[in-house]
Every structure is written in C-alpha cells, then in structure tokens.
C-alpha cells in the first residue's frame, strides 16, 4: 500500500498539531548481551522496518553513522522499484543500508535503536498506516557475526516482556537495491510533508529523547 497523502486543506491543521513533534516513547530495552567483534574500517547494516523515510531519518541522527541509503532488500534487481514493490508481489522490503564506523557505534547498538524506537517489531507486515509485506520487520545480516548477534538479541528481548506482543522480526538473506533518488534524504528535504509530520518527526524526537548519548548534536 502506498503511503497516503492528506488533502492540502488538512495540512495547516496537521502542522499546527504536530509541527513541533511530540516524541514517541522509546521502549526501554536492555543493551544486547552480545555484539559483533570489533572490526577495522566502515561496516554495513541493512534493516527493514516499515517506511524507509522514517527509518532513514532516525539513523541519520546516530553518532558514528556516516551514510544511510533508502532502498529495497530481498527480491530481485529487476523489480526493485517503488511501483513494483508497492504491488506487494516482489518479496522486497523497504529497507535502509547503514554505513557506520564501529569505533563510534557498534552493530548491537544500532539494533537497540532499531528495536526501541526506529520501528515497532511487534507489527506483522505493517507499520503504522502502511500495510503489506514490503513493510515487514526484517534484518538482513551482512555476515555470520551479524546474524548471530541479531538472533541472540531477538531471543534476549523476547524474554524481557518489554513489548505487549511477541516480536515478529525476521532474519533474512537477500540483496539491497537503492531506491529512487526522490526517496533519498526525504525527511530532511521534505520537513512539512504530511506523512513526515505525522509519523516520522515524532519518531526522530523520540530517538533524541530516549538516546541522548547517541544523538548527533
């Protein structure tokens, strides 16, 4: 399902209500008990958790993250485009590719942000107003160490009872394909877009409130 657009007549009321974003509440979860061994050089994480606009916006705020690209994970390169993926028939998930400096932020710390505030890991094949398998909660590990850490953390969080429903996040394999240019850096370029104001500004505010030690200034 494509992201809904509100009628322009509703925009002033929406901005008045949400323009100064009220923070969503970060779920208080523990740090992961295990982490990926320290590595040299930039590393990559690929995470899917609903609309890539909001996921991109949150992780752009994290110290140590050098670049975030919105795209499609899984499926094939031939159908990795917004129109095809929106049909919910391509097996892709809207996802982000994070390039990060492990000397500043670790893979497990990125997962903590992912599970706590970047998305709701208990929503099956949807996030907020968006429904379909392309909005699923999924982690695409880039190596065996990431896969082991992600699996262990999901099991760890399942035992904390921090969420009202079970975690449905899947660990998957598949390629990553960058989305169209107009999707990149969407939050920063379109701060008054109705979807951004309603769904993503509160999420970014929630990250800053819940993880001030990780947020860029």
Q: Which residues are catalytic?
A: 51
Element (H, E) at 209: helix 201-210
**Rounded distance, CA 162 to CA 174, Å?**
29
The residue written with tokens 């079970």 in the block is 166
Burial class (CB in 10 A: 0-12, 13-18, 19+), 151: middle
**Rounded distance, CA 34 to CA 57, Å?**
26
Strand partners, 149: none
Q: Which CA distances in Å does 154 have to 73, 111, 123, 167, 174?
A: 20, 10, 14, 7, 20
What tokens were used for 54?
């909001």
Which strands sit side by side in the sheet containing 176-178, from one edge to the other? 170-171, 137-139, 43-49, 93-100, 65-73, 176-178
């Amino acid at each position: 399902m494509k992201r809904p657009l509100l009628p322009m007549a509703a925009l002033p009321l929406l901005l008045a209500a949400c323009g100064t974003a009220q923070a969503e509440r970060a779920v208080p979860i523990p740090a992961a008990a295990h982490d990926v061994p320290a590595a040299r050089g930039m590393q990559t994480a690929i995470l899917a958790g609903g609309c890539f606009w909001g996921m991109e916006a949150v992780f752009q705020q994290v110290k140590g993250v050098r670049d975030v690209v919105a795209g499609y994970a899984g499926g094939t390169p031939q159908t990795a485009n917004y129109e095809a993926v929106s049909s919910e028939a391509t097996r892709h998930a809207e996802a982000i590719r994070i390039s990060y400096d492990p000397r500043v932020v670790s893979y497990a710390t990125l997962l903590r942000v992912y599970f706590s505030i970047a998305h709701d890991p208990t929503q099956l094949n949807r996030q907020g107003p968006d429904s379909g398998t392309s909005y699923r909660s999924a982690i695409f590990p880039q190596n065996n160490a990431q896969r082991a850490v992600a699996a262990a953390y999901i099991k760890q969080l399942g035992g904390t009872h921090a969420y009202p429903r079970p975690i449905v996040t899947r660990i998957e394999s598949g390629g990553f394909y960058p989305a169209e240019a107009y999707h990149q850096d969407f939050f920063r370029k379109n701060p008054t877009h109705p979807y951004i104001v309603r769904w993503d500004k509160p999420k970014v505010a929630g990250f800053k409130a819940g993880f001030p030690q990780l947020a860029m200034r």
